[in-house]
Amino acid sequence: MQKRLKSEFLNQEEFCADKEISALIGDENSNTVKHSLMLKIMNSIIENDLTERQRQMITMYYFQHIDIPEIADKLGVNRSTVSRTISRGRKNIAKKMKYFVA
């Protein structure tokens, strides 16, 4: 999720949520076992705990690297809807990942 930290669409709160998720996942070079486990947990949260719309937009934005205006065009919604949905999904992921960190 770190690839999108510098997006022009992230406000301070959203940027912090991205940083929080990145911190929970950890650096892939520091502890590969923990990093791998946290990625699996994050993927499980995305698959099982987000709404269908959040999952769809998070996947398009972070994994398919589609920008917000293009997502909005493909789904036929406003850019602000995409931004809010991604923000809510990001917050849900961060909130649920905290349960797995000791």
Where do the structural domains in the chain lie, given as residue ranges?
Answer: 31-102
**What's the confidence (pLDDT) of residue 42?**
84
**What's the confidence (pLDDT) of residue 86?**
95
The b-or-e profile of 52-72 (16+ CB within 10 A means b, else e) is: ebbbbbbebbbeeebebeebb
Q: 24-83: per-residue pLDDT in tens?
A: 666 556 667 777 777 788 888 889 999 999 999 999 998 899 999 999 999 999 999 999
Q: Inform me whether the pLDDT recorded for 101 exceeds 80.
A: no
Q: 9-39: per-residue pLDDT in tens?
A: 444 444 455 666 666 666 556 667 777 777 7
**Alpha-helical regions (H) of the chain:** 12-25, 32-48, 52-58, 68-75, 79-97
**What's the confidence (pLDDT) of residue 8?**
40
**What's the confidence (pLDDT) of residue 39?**
79
Q: How far apart are CA 97 and CA 21, in angstroms?
A: 8
- Evaluate if pTM is beyond 0.75: no
- The matching CATH number, chosen from 1.10.760.10, 2.30.30.100, 3.30.230.70, 1.10.10.10, for 31-102 is 1.10.10.10
